[in-house]
Amino acid sequence: MSTVVDSQSAVALVEIQKLRVVIDEVSHALKSQQELLKMRDLTLNPALLESLKAVESDLYRLETILISESTELEQLNALVQTSAMVNSSLDLDTILAQAMDEILNLTRAGRGFILLENPNTGELEHRITRDNEPEIAHEEGLTDEEANLDSVAYVSRTLLNEVMATGKPLLTDNAQNDPRLAGSETIARFVLRSVMCVPLIYRDRLKGAIYVDNRFRVGVFTERELNLLTAFANQTAVAIENAILFGKVQTSLREITQIKELMESVFASITSGVITTNADDIVTTFNRAAGDILLRAAETTIGQPLDDLLPRMQIDQYLSSVRDGEPRVDAEIQPDVPGRGRIALALRFTPLKNATQDIQGAALVIDDLTEQRERDEALNLMTRYLPPGMVENIHHIAELALGGERREMTCVFLEVIPYKQLASSLRPQQMMDMLNIYLETATIEINKAQGIVDKYMGTDIMVLFNTQLNPDKNHALAAVNMALAVRDAFVNLYARLGIAPDVHYYRAGIHTGVATLGNVGSLNRRSFTAIGDTINLAKRIEENASSGQIMISEETMRAIKDAPGIRLEERQAVQVKGRQQLTRRYEVFRS
CATH number of domain containing 478: 3.30.70.1230
Looking at per-residue pLDDT, the higher value among 379 and 543 belongs to: 543
Confidence label for 293 from pLDDT (cuts 50, 70 and 90)? very high
| Degrees, nearest 5: CA angle 60-64-67 | 135
pLDDT of amino acid 118? 86
Q: Is 442 inside a domain boundary?
A: yes
Q: Is 388 inside a domain boundary?
A: no
pLDDT at 174 over 70: no
Return left, alpha or beta for 203; rule: phi > 0 is left, psi -120 to 50 is alpha, else beta: left
Q: Is 384 inside a domain boundary?
A: no
pLDDT of amino acid 7? 60
Q: Are residues 118 and 13 in the same domain?
A: no
Q: Are residues 102 and 151 in the same domain?
A: yes
Q: Are residues 438 and 484 in the same domain?
A: yes
> What is d(CA 586, CA 564) in angstroms, rounded to the nearest whole number?
16
Q: Are residues 67 and 112 in the same domain?
A: no
Q: List pLDDT tens digits, range 528-537.
A: 788 999 999 9
pLDDT at 345 over 90: yes
Q: Are residues 216 and 327 in the same domain?
A: no
Neighbours of 103 (CB within 10 A): 27
Confidence label for 224 from pLDDT (cuts 50, 70 and 90)? confident
Determine which of 202-211, 212-221, 322-331, 367-376 has the lowest per-residue pLDDT on average: 212-221
pLDDT at 6 over 60: no
Distant-in-sequence, close-in-space partners of 464: CB < 8 Å, separation ≥ 6: 409, 410, 411, 412, 451, 452, 454, 470, 517, 530
pLDDT at 270 over 90: no
How far CA 144 is from CA of 68, 107, 134, 150, 523, in Å, comes to 33, 23, 8, 9, 95
Q: Are residues 72 and 109 in the same domain?
A: no
Confidence label for 12 from pLDDT (cuts 50, 70 and 90)? low
pLDDT at 192 over 70: no
> What is d(CA 241, CA 234) in angstroms, rounded to the nearest whole number?
11
pLDDT of amino acid 437? 93
Q: Is 392 inside a domain boundary?
A: no
Q: What is the secondary structure of 328-365 as a DSSP string? A: -EEEEE--EETTTEE--EEEEEEEEE-TT--EEEEEEE
Q: Are residues 73 and 103 in the same domain?
A: no
Q: Are residues 261 and 195 in the same domain?
A: yes
Number of structural domains found in the chain: 4
Domain end point (choices 353, 372, 391): 372
pLDDT of amino acid 464? 95
Q: Are residues 211 and 343 in the same domain?
A: no
Q: Is 382 inside a domain boundary?
A: no
pLDDT of amino acid 429? 87
Confidence label for 176 from pLDDT (cuts 50, 70 and 90)? low
Q: Is 385 inside a domain boundary?
A: no
pLDDT of amino acid 294? 92
Domain end point (choices 57, 86, 115): 86
Q: Are residues 238 and 277 in the same domain?
A: no
Q: Is 202 inside a domain boundary?
A: yes
Range of the domain at 120: 90-268
Q: Are residues 113 and 257 in the same domain?
A: yes
Domain end point (choices 337, 372, 407): 372
pLDDT of amino acid 513? 95
CATH number, position 247: 3.30.450.40
Q: Are residues 160 and 305 in the same domain?
A: no
Confidence label for 4 from pLDDT (cuts 50, 70 and 90)? very low
| Degrees, nearest 5: CA angle 137-138-144 | 60
The mean pLDDT value for 492-497 works out to 91
The mean pLDDT value for 219-226 works out to 81
pTM of the model: 0.43
Q: Is 174 inside a domain boundary?
A: yes
Confidence label for 491 from pLDDT (cuts 50, 70 and 90)? very high
